[in-house]
Structures are given as structure tokens and as C-alpha cells.
Amino acid sequence: MRPHAPTKRFYAGAVFLTVLLVSCAEPQIPVTSPTTTDTGAESLADVDPLGDALSVAIDELTATLEQISTVLATATAERAALMTAADTALDLLLFTENAVFPVARPGAERDATGNDGLSVVLNAARQKGGFRADMVTSALRDTLAGDLGAWERDPDGMRTQALTAYGPTVTDTTRQVAALDADGMRAIAWIAFARTQQSPAVIRDAFDAAQTHLAIVILSLQLANDA
């Protein structure tokens, strides 16, 4: 048995050397981080079509309100130009298909198909739900429109209420405007009052008051949208 000992030692050494060479030549496989799949999941979680639709609706509504404010601010001092600005502002607020407030539909209630800014934003908020949607709805009620249900049920009555909430003087109008429920309706009343006046200075003051109320609505909607 003694002559075989070198052979065993030879094989043992050969095996050791082979294992050593293989281990040294083994390629290093990088470990895949589990965050790769997590990133994809997070990206999917960030998709919010209802939230995006609400943001778009608010942006369009505030853009219309800003357009109205610009129309009032840039009107020249001549009474005819001021009257044209007042008519344009009221059209954008009340009388066009895509107006800020619902267009009257005699004998029928408003529904979610309304193209006016108030209906579109309100419907988008109802579909979205949650805290941000609640904030947007509150902004619509508290600063733009007042009684949202009344605007849906009887837009003609609400429009008439806003258009007639003024008196013969600035003092009377200030008191009646303050009794309205929201700044959007107050802006309508000041513009309606301006259309009854002859003095460009008084008309300009009424426009300034309307712009102040519109600015409150715009800021409120923007803050609610960022909530």
C-alpha cells in the first residue's frame, strides 16, 4: 500500500488546484436591487386620471375667470368701451355654453353633462373624491357660487338673483352685494350695476370691485387644487 501514497497526494493536490482555479475564474454576477420593480410599482401608483381631470377642469375655470378680469381691467375710459367690456364679462360668466355658471334650462335640472365651468369642476371633484376634492367643492361653494344645489336645480333663478343684487347708488349696491352668498355672485352684481351707470369713474370702480371678488375665487380654487 505504501507505493500508492504519492498518487493519492497527487490527486488531492490536483483537485485543490482545480477548485482554486475555478473559483478565481467564476464571473461576478451583480445582485439585482429589489428597488427596480418597486420603482415600476410606484410609477403606476402615481397615475391618477381622476386627479388629473380635476386639475385640468380647475385650470380651465380659473383661466376663464382671469380672462374676465382682464376684460374689465383693460377696457378704455369711454363709456361705450366700458359697456362692451361689461357685456363681454357677463357673457363669459353667465350666457355662453361654456360660461362659468350653468346656462338656464327651463323645466329641467342641471346634470353632470353641463359644459359650464362650475358643473365641470364640481362633477370632476365628485368623481375624484377624497380630501382634495372636498376642498375644491368647498371653494366652489364658499367663494364662487354659494348654494351649489340651487345652481343645479334653478340656474335661471340664481342668475337673476345675482344680476339684480344692486341699488341705485354705490352705497346701496355695496350693502346688497354683501348679502350674496359668494364672491362669484358678487362679481356678477357689480358688473350688472356698472351697466346701469353713466359715469365712467363709477363704472371703473364697480369693475375694480368685481375684479377683487374674482381674484378671491381664483386664489381659493388654486389653493384647493394644491391641497
**What's the pLDDT tens digit per position in 192-222?**
999 999 999 999 999 999 999 999 999 999 9
pLDDT at site 106:
47
Residue corresponding to grid cell 376684460:
71
- State the Cα angle at 30 between 28 and 32, rounded to 5°: 160
Cell numbers that stand for 107 in this block = 323645466
What are the tens digits of pLDDT across the range 104-144?
Answer: 654 444 444 579 999 999 999 999 999 999 999 999 999 99
**For the whole prediction, is pTM greater than 0.85?**
no
Confidence of residue 46 (pLDDT cuts 50, 70, 90): confident
104/132 Cα distance (integer angstroms)? 29
Label residues 95-123 b or e (16+ Cβ within 10 Å = b).
Answer: eeeebbbbbbeeeeebeeebebbbbbbbb
**Rounded to an integer, what distance in angstroms lies between the CA atom of residue 67 and that of residue 143?**
18
Amino acid identity, position 92: L
Nearest one of 221, 219, 224, 189 to 207, comparing CA atoms: 189
User: Cα dist. 164→5, 45, 52, 157, 159 in Å?
Assistant: 118, 49, 37, 11, 9
Cβ distance 191 to 69 under 8 Å?
Answer: no
CB 137 within 8 A of CB 178: no
pLDDT in tens, 147-202: 999 999 999 999 999 999 999 999 999 999 999 999 999 999 999 999 999 999 99
Name the DSSP class of 113. Answer: T
Separation between Cα atoms, residue 192 and residue 215, nearest integer Å? 18
What pLDDT shows up at residue 2?
45
pLDDT tens digits for 61-99? 999 999 999 999 999 999 999 999 999 999 999 998 899
